[in-house]
C-alpha cells in the first residue's frame, strides 16, 4: 500500500519513541527531496512499492491507513482495453433501461418500488467487470462466481435486455412475477436458476457467504477432493451493507487462508436506509484498516483519471490535504452545482490548490470525476486485484 510522509516542521521531533531524531529527519528530508524533484506521486509510489514487496521486513512496518488518494497511480491506470466510446454507449443504454424498468413498473402500482440509485452508483463497476474480467464456465475456465448487490438487480436485468437475453415483456413484468412471466426484484436462483448464481440481497449474508464459499473450495482443492478450474469469487457491497456485522465478521478468514481468488468491491455510494453514511477520508481509512489489518490487499479508487495531473503538480501537498478535509456534505453539494462552484469552494480554500486549476475551464473542472465512475481507474483496480498473489509464508 502507498504510504505518505508528513512533517509538522523541519525540526519536529516530539515523538518519545524516536531513538535517533537526526536519522529520522534525514529519511524525511530524502523523501521530501524525491517529492520535490520527481513529484509527490513518485514519492508515494516508491514508499508503496517498498511496502508491497514480498518480504517479512517490509510487512512488519506496513501501516493500515494511507492518504485519501488512489492506490494505483497514473502509469498503472493509463491502459484500458476495449473501445471506450462504444462501451460508454452500452453503459448509457443499460442505465436508461434500468430506470425505465422501474418507472414503468411503478405505473402499474406505486407499491412496486425499485432501487434506481443503487445501480446507478455502481453501473461502471459492473460494466467493466462484465466486459473485461468475468468469465462464464467454459472448456478452459471454471467460471467466475459473482455475488451481486441485491438492489442492483434492475441494472443486471437491463444489461440482459440489451444483450437480447430478456424480452421486453419480461422487463415489463419487473416485480410482477406472479404467473411466472415477470422478473423477481431480487436475486432468486430458485425462480431463475439460469440467471442468478446466488441469493445475495441480504445485506450482511452475501459477504460472509462469499468468504466461506471461497474458503471451502480452496480447502477442497488442497485436500484434492476435487480440483475446480480457475475462477474468481467477487462480492459487491454498498457502504451500508458493508457495515453489517456479518460483512466484517469473517474477513479475517480471507486473510488467514490467503484467498487470492476472493475479491470484495465496496461501493461507497453515500446511500443508506437509515443512519449516517459517510465517504470521507476518515471513513476510507476505517475501511482500509479493517481489511488491511485482517490481511487483505486493499486497492483504493477514489479519484478519476483527470485528477492525476493535478496530483502530479501538487508539490505543496495542499491538494491531498484539501481532499482529506472535504466533508461528505460539501462533496454532495459540489456535485449538485457546477464547475465554477467547485473552483471557488473546493479549490479556492487554499491559494496553492486554486493555482492548480488556474489554467482549467469550469467545464474541465466539472469533468473531474470520482474513481468509481471512471472506467480506466476501475479497470486498473480490477486488473491489479486479479493479478495479486499473496506471497506470505
Q: Cell numbers for 368, please give them.
A: 473531474
Winning range, highest mean pLDDT, from 41-50, 106-115, 234-243, 308-317: 308-317
Give percent of the chain with pLDDT exceeding 90. 20
pLDDT of residue 9: 32
Q: pLDDT class for 186, splitting at 50, 70, 90?
A: confident
The contacts of residue 313 (CB under 8 Å, 6+ apart) are 39, 356
Mean pLDDT, to the nearest integer, of 292-317?
Answer: 88
Query: Beta-carbon neighbour count of residue 215 at 10 Å?
Result: 18
Ramachandran quadrant class, 276 (left: phi over 0; alpha: psi -120 to 50; beta: rest): beta
Question: Which has more pLDDT, 65 or 385?
Answer: 385
Q: pLDDT class for 224, splitting at 50, 70, 90?
A: very low
Mean pLDDT, to the nearest integer, of 200-222?
Answer: 69
Winning range, highest mean pLDDT, from 5-9, 52-56, 93-97: 93-97
219 HSE (CA, 13 A, CB side): 10
pLDDT of residue 89: 93
pLDDT tens digits along 76-109: 555 666 788 899 999 999 999 999 988 888 887 7
Is residue 314 within 8 Å of 347, Cβ to Cβ?
Answer: no
CATH assignment of 84-302+374-387, among 3.40.50.970, 3.30.499.10, 3.90.930.12, 3.90.1150.10: 3.40.50.970
Relative orientation angle of helices 318-325 and 281-293, to the nearest 10 degrees: 90
Q: In what order do the strands lie in the sheet with 145-147?
A: 145-147, 233-238, 262-267
Mean pLDDT, to the nearest integer, of 20-44?
Answer: 85
pLDDT tens digits along 103-132: 888 887 777 677 788 888 889 999 999 999
Minimum mean pLDDT range among 170-179, 200-209, 322-331: 200-209
Q: pLDDT class for 46, splitting at 50, 70, 90?
A: confident
Q: pLDDT class for 352, splitting at 50, 70, 90?
A: very high
Mean pLDDT, to the nearest integer, of 34-42?
Answer: 82
Print burial letters for 324-354: b (CB count within 10 Å at least 16), e (below 16).
eebebeebeebeeeebebbbeebbebeebbe
Question: Which has more pLDDT, 325 or 81?
Answer: 325
* Res. 57: pLDDT tops 50: no
In the chain, at which residue ranges do the beta strands (DSSP E only) sit? 145-147, 233-238, 262-267
CA atoms of 272 and 274, how far apart (whole Å):
5
Domain parsing of the chain, residue ranges: 84-302+374-387, 305-368
pLDDT of residue 105: 84
Amino acid at each position: 500500500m502507498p504510504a505518505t510522509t508528513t512533517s509538522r516542521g523541519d525540526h519536529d521531533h516530539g515523538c518519545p519513541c524516536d531513538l535517533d531524531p537526526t536519522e529520522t529527519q534525514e529519511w524525511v528530508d530524502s523523501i521530501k527531496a524525491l517529492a520535490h524533484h520527481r513529484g509527490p506521486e513518485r514519492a508515494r509510489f516508491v514508499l508503496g512499492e517498498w511496502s508491497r514487496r514480498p518480504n517479512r521486513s517490509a510487512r512488519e512496518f506496513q501501516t493500515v491507513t494511507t492518504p485519501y488518494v488512489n492506490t494505483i497511480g497514473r502509469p498503472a491506470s493509463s491502459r484500458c482495453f476495449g473501445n471506450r466510446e462504444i462501451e460508454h454507449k452500452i453503459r448509457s443504454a443499460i442505465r436508461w433501461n434500468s430506470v425505465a424498468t422501474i418507472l414503468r413498473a411503478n405505473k402499474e402500482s406505486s407499491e412496486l418500488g425499485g432501487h434506481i440509485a443503487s445501480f446507478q452508483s455502481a453501473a461502471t463497476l459492473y460494466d467493466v467487470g462484465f466486459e473485461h474480467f468475468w468469465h462464464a464456465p467454459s472448456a478452459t475456465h471454471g467460471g467466475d462466481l459473482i455475488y451481486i448487490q441485491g438492489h442492483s438487480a434492475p441494472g443486471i436485468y437491463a444489461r440482459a435486455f440489451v444483450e437480447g437475453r430478456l424480452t421486453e415483456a419480461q422487463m415489463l413484468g419487473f416485480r410482477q412475477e406472479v404467473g411466472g412471466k415477470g422478473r423477481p426484484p431480487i436475486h432468486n436462483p430458485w425462480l431463475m436458476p439460469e440467471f442468478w448464481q446466488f441469493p445475495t440481497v441480504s445485506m450482511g449474508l452475501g459477504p460472509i457467504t462469499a468468504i466461506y464459499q471461497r474458503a471451502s473450495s480452496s480447502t477442497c482443492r488442497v485436500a484434492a477432493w476435487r480440483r475446480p478450474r480457475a475462477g474468481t469469487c467477487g462480492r459487491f457491497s454498498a457502504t451500508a451493507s458493508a457495515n453489517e456485522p456479518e460483512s466484517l465478521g469473517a474477513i479475517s478468514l480471507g486473510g488467514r487462508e490467503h484467498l487470492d481468488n476472493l475479491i470484495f468491491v465496496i461501493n461507497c455510494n453515500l446511500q443508506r436506509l437509515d443512519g449516517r453514511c459517510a465517504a470521507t477520508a476518515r471513513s476510507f481509512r476505517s475501511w482500509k484498516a479493517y481489511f488491511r489489518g485482517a490481511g487483505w490487499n486493499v486497492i483504493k479508487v477514489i479519484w478519476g483519471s483527470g485528477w492525476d495531473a493535478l496530483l502530479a503538480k501538487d508539490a505543496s501537498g495542499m491538494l491531498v490535504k484539501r481532499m482529506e478535509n472535504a466533508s461528505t456534505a460539501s462533496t454532495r453539494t459540489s456535485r449538485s452545482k457546477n464547475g465554477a462552484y467547485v473552483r471557488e469552494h473546493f479549490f479556492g480554500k487554499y491559494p496553492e490548490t486554486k493555482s492548480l486549476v488556474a489554467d482549467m475551464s469550469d467545464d474541465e473542472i466539472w469533468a473531474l470525476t470520482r474513481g468509481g465512475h471512471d472506467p480506466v481507474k476501475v479497470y486498473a483496480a480490477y486488473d491489479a486485484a486479479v493479478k495479486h498473489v499473496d506471497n506470505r509464508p
